[in-house]
A and B are shown apart, each in its own frame.
Chain A
């Protein structure tokens, strides 16, 4: 069964800290992996999309890496800010299914 797991489920850090969110998936045959941010009561905002042929993507203070062979992706947030507080979701598009499977998310709180 194709599954996506995110650890930790919740994280609280002081402002300014660099942090890493983890995403693991059960099948290395994927088309792509996408990281999203969800604010309370809001929709999902796409942060980064990594194709299966890529190793990483960067956008501002965010860097996402992909290691297909080990079934892992990490989202690195540099110099965290209170405005980064949200739930971060990882979604994997497994080959042959054309369905994004979502992890359950990491709820991040950055303390001022």
Chain B
């Protein structure tokens, strides 16, 4: 397997624009996670899915953020409208189970909102 695949790797957008980040988890993994990494706050869990169903979205900072997982092989994180403070690296991760196996991370999407 190629691992967790995220696209794009880099995104620069203007304030107010819609941004969509994409993730393809490892095949067969039942759990998918979206994290955000900043210098100030480190790595924070935004939301996670189990079998395509959102389980906990308490980390989503505002209503401007939304995430979907229409099928087992694809997830999106959307920010609308984007703001400069959303600039960060966004990681997607997947794991086979929630408690007993490793989490595998993608390479991340570096988002810059100007």
Q: Does B99 contact A43, Cβ atoms closer than 8 Å?
A: no
**Which B residues lie within 8 Å of A34 (CB)?**
102-103
**Which B residues lie within 8 Å of A51 (CB)?**
100
Instruction: State the Cβ distance, B10 to closest chain A Cβ, in Å.
Output: 10
Q: Does A43 contact B91, Cβ atoms closer than 8 Å?
A: yes
Closest B-chain residue to A49, C-beta based?
B102
CB within 8 Å for A43 and B102 given contacts A100-B45, A102-B42, A105-B42 = no
Question: CA–CA, A43 to B45, complex, Å?
Answer: 15
**Which A residues lie within 8 Å of B105 (CB)?**
36, 43-46
Q: Does B56 contact A98, Cβ atoms closer than 8 Å?
A: yes
B71 within 8 A of A: no
Q: Which residue of B98, B106, B110 contacts A98 across the interface (Cβ within 8 Å)?
A: B98
Q: Does A43 contact B103, Cβ atoms closer than 8 Å?
A: no
Q: Which of the listed residues B55, B106, B108 has the most CB atoms from chain A within 10 Å of its own CB? A: B108
Q: Does B43 contact A43, Cβ atoms closer than 8 Å?
A: no
A1 within 8 A of B: no
Kindly state the interface size class of chain A when it binds its partner. 20 to 34
Q: Which residue of B42, B56, B100, B108 contacts A99 across the interface (Cβ within 8 Å)?
A: B56
Closest A-chain residue to B108, C-beta based?
A43
Instruction: State the Cβ distance, B109 to closest chain A Cβ, in Å.
Output: 10
CB within 8 Å for A100 and B103 given contacts A43-B91, A89-B43 = yes
B52 within 8 A of A: no
Question: CA–CA, A45 to B103, complex, Å?
Answer: 9
Closest B-chain residue to A51, C-beta based?
B100
- Encode contact with B along A41-62: 1 for CB under 8 Å, 0 otherwise: 1111110010100000000000
CB within 8 Å for A31 and B103 given contacts A102-B42, A102-B43 = no
A92-112 residues with Cβ-Cβ distance < 8 A to B are 93, 98-100, 102-105
**Which A residues lie within 8 Å of B42 (CB)?**
102-105
Q: Which residue of B91, B98, B100, B110 contacts A44 across the interface (Cβ within 8 Å)?
A: B91
Query: Which residues of A are interface residues toward B (Cβ below 8 A)?
Result: 31-32, 34, 36, 41-46, 49, 51, 89, 91, 93, 98-100, 102-105
User: Can you give 14 contacting A-B residue pairs, CB < 8 Å?
Assistant: A31-B99, A41-B110, A42-B107, A43-B91, A43-B107, A44-B93, A45-B105, A89-B43, A91-B43, A98-B55, A98-B98, A98-B99, A99-B56, A102-B42
